[in-house]
Structure 1
Amino acid sequence: FAEAFGPEQFLFDIAQANSNIVGIDVSNEIVIRAKRSATGYGVDAGKYLCCDVKQLPLQDNSIDLIISDSTLDHFPSETDIVTALKELGRVLRAGGTLILTIDNKSHLTYPPYFIIRLWMRLGLAPYFIGKTLSTTELRHTLDQIGFSVEEITAIFHYPHPDGLVRWLERSLRKLGRGKFNNAIRKSLAWLDRLEGKRTKYLTGRYIAVKAVKKEAS
């Protein structure tokens, strides 16, 4: 999604480091736009695939590194998330690394899911907002399917909803004509310091995990 629409095209940066990259999305439209963006960056667009992360067209133990940037929190059930994690574990080689972020439902402003459903029904969400797992549930699931969690934290310390926060930031930048940019940058940097606090899971927008697939016993 980021490679198709946003400024956060991290896969393009990895590809430029001469890595063998596979990008996936369930939407063919997004894959087409991502390929177009990749071509514009001078990156090989041949390995952007339209597929379901729960049924990947990839061989077992064929991937060294998987980056899932807030993609598994767009399913209608927690069971779907677990199924997707198992599939990622299938294609990842032993000793390979999974970098994963998902919505943090321990956040103080994370709304009850009936509010999220209402928000989507009113057309206020640009995409489907799905279920997520708690920190404990995520750690337990990864352990059960053969991962060792090396790092886990909470990142991006700002309130819900994302759209309102981004609109406010854009509006301040526009109204200030650049005068507020430094203050905005300092404010965001100050909020990032909350990651070092014991209360980080109450303020972090996403859970971020680094996990390594265990060697077969």
Structure 2
Amino acid sequence: MMVLRSEILTREVTNYWEGIANIWQEKRPQKLWRCHSDQVNIELLSGWLPAMEHKHVLKTDLFDEACSEGIISSLSLPVKTTFGIDVSFSTAQSARKNNPNLQTLKADTRSLPIADHSFDVIISNSTLDHFKSSNEILKSLKELERILRPGGQLLLTLDNGLNPFVALRNALPFKLLNSLGIVPYYVGKTFRPARLYRALKKLNFEVVQVTGVMHFPRFIAVLIARVLEKYSNQFVHEKFLRYLMAFERLSKLPTRLLTGQFVAIKAIKKA
């Protein structure tokens, strides 16, 4: 796979996410919550990915694989190459250590050093909702379209701007939310489902599925999980995880794009 473009990673952004990666890999906070997050993503992707061979699969960040079990090892797909990128070198390094067959690269989705039409499937779960501007999301989407082969699949999740809890969180100052422990790292601009749908349509994608996922309010779940991790046992943990997953049944209701804290889209690049 040829490298055609140079990375445009600013020192400020790189240093910030390196610092976050070091803290999470050392302290491993929110283990129980991360387990639920992985379960939701695995269930979604397992239902969306066809049971066929994919030559090259890309995941657009590796935070899950570095700080928890992640989703790559749990997706039973016949794949020739699984590739992952991350803005943090230590995150990419840790993810590869946990997944020996994973090929990794330090890269920024806004300007990818990857050749056109390189991948059959791109998995981007909550990668693009950490930018300061909407234009950066659009720029990243354009890059993902460029490196995806015609007929390839983009499986994308973003913070759902239509969800009341997400909308309230994004309206409040990050420093306040971070100091209260509600938001552990920077979250940025995002799109409502309709805007994301329009953006993908303009980029030569056919959107085939749209839904909402992670329906139990995140900040409440994180607080409960924090207490359970400290004061309960594995049996209680598993029961709590089953309770959270029961809320994913809301994905089948017409209100799914209101209750889901993430909008999830499956799109196919047109020939």
Q: TM-score range by the shorter chain?
A: 0.7 to 0.9
Q: Does 1:84 align with 2:140?
A: yes
Determine the structure 1 residue equivalent to 2:195.
137
Q: Is the 8 A contact 1:173 1:179 kept in 2?
A: no
Aligned residue number for residue 43 of structure 2: none
Instruction: Find the partner of 1:101 among 157, 174, 177.
Output: 157
SS in 1 for 2:115: coil
Question: Does the 8 Å contact 1:120/1:128 carry over to 2?
Answer: no
TM-score of the two chains, using structure 1 as the length reference? 0.85
Aligned length, in residue pairs: 207
- Work out the CA distance in 2 between the residues paired with 1:208 and 1:19: 25
Give the aligned partner of residue 109 of structure 2.
53
Find the counterpart in structure 2 of residue 169 from structure 1: 225
Contact 1:15 1:21 in 2 (8 A): no
Letter in 2 for 1:204: G
Equivalent AA in structure 2 for residue 126 of structure 1: P
> Could you say which residue in structure 1 is the equivalent of 2:98?
37
Hey, what does 1:65 align to over in structure 2? 121
Check 1:213–1:120 CA distance in 2 against 1; reply closer, same or farther (3 A cut): same
Q: Percent identity?
A: 33
Residue 266 of structure 2 aligns to a residue whose secondary structure is: strand
The answer as to whether partners of 2:250 and 2:256 remain within 8 angstroms in 1 is: yes
Match of residue 172, structure 2, among 115, 133, 152: 115
* 1:5 matches 2:67: yes
> Which AA in structure 2 matches 1:54?
R
Supply the distance in 2 between the matched residues of 1:179 and 1:93 (Cα, whole angstroms). 45
Cα distance in 1 between the residues matched to 2:90 and 2:237: 34
Q: Deviation at 1:188?
A: 2.1
Q: For 1:182 and 1:38, how far apart are their aligned partners in 2?
A: 24
Structure 1 residue runs of 5 or longer lacking an equivalent are none
Segments of structure 2 that go 5 or more residues without pairing to the other structure are: 1-62
Distance of 2:225 and 2:180 partners within structure 1: 21
What SS does structure 1 have at the residue aligned with 2:99? helix
TM-score of the superposed pair, with normalisation by structure 2: 0.69
SS state at 1:152 partner: strand
1:50-98: CA deviations, max 9, x gaps? 0111111111111110000111111111110010000000000100000
Q: What residue is the counterpart of 2:89 in the other structure?
A: 28
| CA drift at 1:136 | 0.5
Q: Output the aligned Cα RMSD.
A: 2.3
Between 30-39 and 106-115, the greater mean CA deviation after superposition: 106-115
Amino acid paired to 1:34: A
Cα 1:56–1:182 shift into 2, 3 Å: closer
Which residue in the other structure is 2:3 paired with? none
Secondary structure, counterpart of 1:72 in structure 2: coil
